[in-house]
Amino acid sequence: MEKNFIKLKDIKKIYKMGEIEIKALDSISFSIDKGEFVVVVGPSGAGKSTVLNILGGMDSPTSGELIVGDNEISEYSSRELTTYRRYDIGFVFQFYNLVQNLTALENIELATEICKDPLEPYKVLEQVGLKDRKDNFPSQLSGGEQQRVAIARALAKNPKLLLCDEPTGALDYNTGKSVLKLLQDTSRDNGMTVVVVTHNLAIAPMADKIIKIKNGKVESEEINKNPIPVERIEW
């Protein structure tokens, strides 16, 4: 595992709303190794989504540094950030965000069209257990299946980093578990660096590293030497 592949140093994010300043992130520092499965957990409003958006180049810090590999992302222009989002980052959102008039396979193909070194869309669909559903539209798939397509779409880009914002937020208990298992297996089997943001502290034991965030600060950072397979976690 490449140590400290991603580094956040004293990241602050202040949103100005007229006279009012909202400190979403108040000097956040932590690092992520290559291939690590990281869970970022904290209560609503803690700053989790802001961390994820900065990691993914969707937002820029007010101050501080974000380094990914040898690149200082926090210095990037908006054009460079576009390239970074396109080539280096896979996103998985709570509500899947699939294109409704494209099939499962077409959704994945569309994403790979703008990439440098994508994986074969059908193979990735097979990997997430959905090859038989390739010609189905999102409305013909269950929530869990749609989220699997969304994960396949993110993975097919062959990103350096997979970012997931409450990926099980819209799923029932067992479906949520199987989606988390897919993410955990993907990290293990493909050496993929995965960051999952959630308010559900119960899933923390499945992670290699747990970052707890509260009021825009890192409350604790814990390395888990023995991550538990998600199927053995109950909540």
Ligand X SMILES: Nc1ncnc2c1ncn2[C@@H]1O[C@H](COP(=O)(O)OP(=O)(O)OP(=O)(O)O)[C@@H](O)[C@H]1O
Tell which one of 28, 47, 154, 156 touches ligand X (CB under 6 A): 47
Nearest to 229 by CA among 1, 61, 37, 84: 37
Residue among 8, 41, 46, 111 that touches ligand X (CB under 6 A): 46
Instruction: Figure out which of the listed residues 27, 49, 136, 200 binds ligand X, where binding follows CB under 6 A.
Output: 49
How is residue 72 written in tokens? 């200082």
77 counts as binding ligand X under rule CB under 6 A:
no
Q: Which of 6, 8, 11, 24 binds ligand X (CB under 6 A)?
A: 24
Amino acid at 18: G
100 binds ligand X (CB under 6 A): no
Among 32, 39, 50, 88, contact with ligand X (rule: CB under 6 A): 50
Is 165:54 a contact under the CB 8 Å cutoff? no
1 or 202: whose CB is closer to ligand X?
A: 202
By CB under 6 A, the residues from 158 to 217 that bind ligand X are 199
Stretch that binds ligand X, among 38-46, 109-117, 122-130, 138-146 (CB under 6 A): 38-46
**Residue 95, interface with ligand X (CB under 6 A)?**
no
CA 172 from chain centre, in angstroms, equals 20
Under the rule (CB under 6 A), what is the footprint of ligand X? 15, 17, 22, 24, 42, 44-50, 199
